[in-house]
Structure 1
Amino acid sequence: MNIVAIAGSVVGSKTKTAIQQTVKILEQKYPDHEVMLLDLAAYDIPFSDGRNYLDYQGDAKYVTEQIMKADVLMIGTPIFQASIPGTLKNLFDLLPTSAFEGKVASMVVTAGSQRHYLIPEQQLKPILTYMKAQVLQQYLFIEDVDFYRQEITNDDVFYRMERLVDDTMTLAKTYQQMQQEKDAEYGF
């Protein structure tokens, strides 16, 4: 499977730290799969202007093509001002509405307080569902208190992160098997 992890912000370090750790767990537990980390801070992506994603050039074309090739998306996002960052929303706007059809998506969320726990439910899940992703119901929510000097310090976070990775891969394998069975019904 082709797995793309996204660090969905151009500022801050906590989301990048969390998604890098998630990628590390993926690579250790599932070495037979291709894993790629797309850190949006490393790319120059213009604002969406409604063009087809294939009509963009440079970093925008590269990032969107990698996402379109993915079987699994692990989306890392901070919560800023009770919302997902504009850079992540812009990335979604660059893609067609059915971009995540046939893909499994899960979320790694960092936030300043527990008060932001439902933001992924209210903002990110509806976008992913609208774009036709098979969304893992639970997500990893990490607070500021779980970090110290750009490192995760709460052992429970590591446990929940491993669980998220395993659940994401289980859903992806199950979905892939369902698709294969459905395709086999056609007999051609």
Structure 2
Amino acid sequence: MSELHIVGLAGNITAPSKTRALVGQALDLAGAGLQARTTLFEIADFGEDLGRARRADDLSPQARHNLDTLLQADALIVATPIYKGSYPGLFKHLIDLIDPAALLRKPVLIAATGGGEKHALAVEHQLRPLFAFFEARVLSTAVHVSDRDFSEGRLVSDPALNRLARAIDEFSTIFPRAARIRAAAE
């Protein structure tokens, strides 16, 4: 088995962001837990021409390379901020450029950040159906965190960290060999 590669996508259009911090911490946990290689992308990594692209081939060569890296990953961790009950338009536009068959059975951890608990169900009502359309293997545990779960740009709330760890642990059932390698190393 080649090295497991997990790619994170932070669907925020601003930097720094809590969404990026969440994806970064999730990738750190997944990378350590499964001895996986990780890569983190933000919307800005898909170039200034993202909004004008009508298909993936319209992206710049670097943005297209980044999209190909995301699509070739063994698993994804995707998080987006929630604004007024949904994800940002540029995040959705990037997802719209993906071929409907490209994420078939790909494990995806879905997560969201929001200003408060008012947006907590958006991860279930917005992200889960979006990735179900692609027939991705969306993990059963989704993660929503709010502003109060962060301190100094890091996720610090014990309940949020525990939920994130439970979600990451679901990758162990999908990639049992990686989990066994991890256990043997401990």
Scaled by the length of structure 1, the TM-score of the pair is 0.82
Structure 2 residue 10 is the aligned partner of structure 1 residue 3: no
Match of 1:137 in 2: 140
For structure 2, the 5+ residue unaligned runs are 177-186
> For the aligned residues, what is the CA RMSD?
1.9
Distance 2:52 2:140 in 1: 28
Shift of 1:149: 2.4
- Contact 1:111–1:144 (8 Å) recurs in 2: yes
Partner SS state of residue 124, structure 1: helix
- Contact 2:31–2:38 (8 Å) recurs in 1: yes
- Contact 1:71–1:102 (8 Å) recurs in 2: no
Distance 2:43 2:59 in 1: 16
Aligned mate of 1:21, from 13, 22, 25: 25
Distance 1:148 1:35 in 2: 24
Q: Which amino acid aligns with 1:47?
A: G
Structure 2 residue 120 is the aligned partner of structure 1 residue 113: no
Match of 2:59 in 1: 56
Distance 2:172 2:39 in 1: 15
Match of 1:168 in 2: 171
% same residue:
27
- Contact 1:4–1:73 (8 Å) recurs in 2: yes
Aligned residues: 171
Q: Which amino acid aligns with 2:33?
A: K
- Contact 1:105–1:168 (8 Å) recurs in 2: no
Shift of 1:105: 0.7
Partner SS state of residue 9, structure 1: coil
- Contact 1:48–1:90 (8 Å) recurs in 2: no
For structure 1, the 5+ residue unaligned runs are 175-188
Shift of 1:50: 3.5
- Structure 1 residues 133 and 19 mapped into 2: Cα distance closer, same or farther (>3 Å)? same
Match of 2:86 in 1: 83
- Structure 1 residues 89 and 169 mapped into 2: Cα distance closer, same or farther (>3 Å)? farther
Distance 1:115 1:78 in 2: 13
Partner SS state of residue 92, structure 1: helix
- Provide, for residues 47-75 of structure 1, a one-character-per-residue CA deviation record: whole Å limited to 9, x for no partner: 26433x24533233022101220121110
Partner SS state of residue 110, structure 2: strand
Distance 1:126 1:137 in 2: 13
Distance 2:96 2:52 in 1: 6
- Contact 2:47–2:63 (8 Å) recurs in 1: yes
Partner SS state of residue 75, structure 1: strand
- Structure 1 residues 138 and 48 mapped into 2: Cα distance closer, same or farther (>3 Å)? farther
Distance 1:173 1:27 in 2: 12
Partner SS state of residue 167, structure 2: helix
- Contact 2:123–2:144 (8 Å) recurs in 1: no
